[in-house]
A and B are shown apart, each in its own frame.
Chain A
């Protein structure tokens, strides 16, 4: 009898242990998925938001047209990649084609807008600049339709080219891991450029006080042009890197701009490191919601934004400054 009870206890213990191990595995798998999904999403968001916040930090322009740069990058990249593969060339070079086409298109349109329009408006009220860039957004949306039409564009080849990796039983596309690398490189380049180069230091002077910078002989106009080009290039690059995972259709720029604003507001308008932290917070919060409580997936992003603004109205990393009168 005692022996039977002992055996029963033993098998119950092993059952509980096996059950516990299975639960532990599921929990750990889910945790891993949340971290990877969150970081991948954050990387994507950061590439979009970095250009937006940089332009605001230097030029004090909340650039609504940033979504159009994203869309133009996606269209240019997808169009060129489609053409490239139709020539039967080496698949691996398609990454260079994707990025190169987007950067050329982004820089060209950025230069056109900054030199052709925005430079005549510098110094205007920030609200006026929002309206101006909103008008540019609407014009560019129609221009995109005129150039590329409304049929979807595909550039899916690079997405599957890198294969996939299995972690804890879950498959992840290696292309998504590449996004993490690219956004890290962009973050490092921005940090180095702003903190370790002469031009970066000049740019920080302009951010700190535009009038004093001008009085010190810094060519503010040139710095504005360069900043806008970098911002437009980053927006276009984000679009191009997104294009392989979806069909590029009219309106894609509008969809992302709202998210990018949320990220920038959380991090603090004008702060690149703030955009990085904001993107990570949004990415991880969204991934956690999708896995644990899908009903609040959309709400959680704006709940985080509301919470941050309630505690720090200027965002996490922006320095509060007295208003000049």
Chain B
């Protein structure tokens, strides 16, 4: 036999051996697709803190160093290998990216999505490809109100909670409340937030509330001079905004320079991300929310202390709520695998995840909405105050999950208009 004739055989053996090695390595890895904004306007305030949180928590899970009671290394005994995808580009691109993650990368599951548009587009694809998916930050309540998904979970509350709690907070704490105005972004997030806020107030005050003006500037408009003037021309007792990210920063800077924040009672339902960078521009008394019990509102626990200190040490800035959301999603996924037991199938993990209760860095998470696929958590608001230059909060009020989240099976808008029956606020 000539040596040359052996070459194809050797090559085949080498390829087979290589494939074997790769498949053994693959068997030891848990491939986790992570989708978050790595570019565009949402990357700085949202996408990157979320990625940082994922890196931190994944490293801790792989090393087995997360605080008790979370134990064991990796997920299902396998080291997590994160595969990051940029969320920028819109829903059509994201559905293609999702297919790539599943079909080409062979991920075991996916954690991702900040944009509500993406969160509405992805679940049907997840169902088709039968891939476990955890939505980690988007706010639209429509995901599980309009759909019924087996493979999709969301490990944080919807935006409805933010605005129902905001209405309750100002109704309880603002003296002689008679009028409100709002500035919200001109897309579903802004419109839904304003609707939930105003409708809840109408219910709480039996319709006795006047809306002086409602402004809906374009997303990422950046220039709010005319809107600020409009809010000044038609003053109200409370100005509501659900602005997020860079838009919050721009509104804070421009409103502060014109005295709107000093002369009016403002409530920022998602204002917590501006605290680290622009806290000095926020006057005492402004009401701040963090889309859940996160950041300065996170309850004391070993896990939260670990998360805050390690995040700050590694990235030089405290974690904001998008980071908490990501940490909560990854930890929830690991705990679902732990609960399902070793070598569990995806279906067994789904069974374990449904109606699961777990402790995240922001406290208790109950997966008890959306047929066990949608989380409900408590919501917190507080008024900013300063002591020796340090930002703190006063008049902090915590609202139980069952007080500010619609019950299982309810459509948010209808539930609010019906007077929020069954809400447990004591």
Contact = CB atoms under 8 A, between A and B. Distances in A.
A251 B40 contact: yes
Nearest to A255: B220
B117 to A, nearest CB: 16
Nearest to B259: A171
Interface string B287-315: 00000000000000000000000000000
Given A150-B48, A159-B257, A249 B233 contact: no
Nearest to A159: B257
A247 B246 contact: yes
Contact of B229 (A36, A246, A250): A36
Contacts, number: 136
Interface stretch (B65-73, B121-129, B210-218): B210-218
Give the 3 A-B CB pairs with smallest separation, nearest first.
A246-B250, A247-B249, A37-B226
Contacts of A169: 232
Given A156-B281, A171-B260, A176-B225, 15 more contacts: A33-B233, A37-B225, A38-B226, A41-B223, A44-B223, A145-B39, A171-B258, A173-B257, A242-B223, A245-B254, A249-B41, A251-B40, A255-B41, A290-B226, A294-B213
A66 interface: no
Contacts of B256: 160
Contact of A170 (B38, B41, B229): B229
Contacts of B258: 164, 171-173
Contacts of A173: 254, 257-258
Interface residues of B, number: 42
B395 to A, nearest CB: 27
Nearest to B219: A255
Q: Decide if the interface of chain B is mainly helix, strand, loop or mixed.
A: helix
B48 A151 contact: yes
Contacts of B14: none
A147 to B, nearest CB: 14
Contacts of B253: 156, 159, 244-247
A249 B43 contact: yes
Interface string A78-93: 0000000000000000
B423 interface: no
B225 A294 contact: no
B222 interface: yes
Given A151-B48, A251-B40, A245 B226 contact: no
Interface residues of A, number: 47
Q: Decide if the interface of chain A is mainly helix, strand, loop or mixed.
A: helix
A100 B389 CA distance: 33
Nearest to B45: A152
B38 A33 contact: no
Contacts of A247: 44-45, 246, 249-250, 253, 277
B230 interface: yes
A160 B257 contact: yes
Given A152-B45, A159-B253, A251-B39, A290 B227 contact: yes
A41 B41 contact: no
B266 to A, nearest CB: 15
Contacts of B229: 33, 36-37, 170, 172, 287, 290-291
A218 interface: no
A67 to B, nearest CB: 12
Contacts of B218: 297-298
B410 to A, nearest CB: 29
A295 interface: yes
Contacts of B48: 150-151
A170 B260 CA distance: 10
B226 A291 contact: yes
B169 to A, nearest CB: 25
Nearest to B256: A160
A18 interface: no
Contacts of A242: 222-223
Contacts of B222: 242, 245-246, 252, 255-256
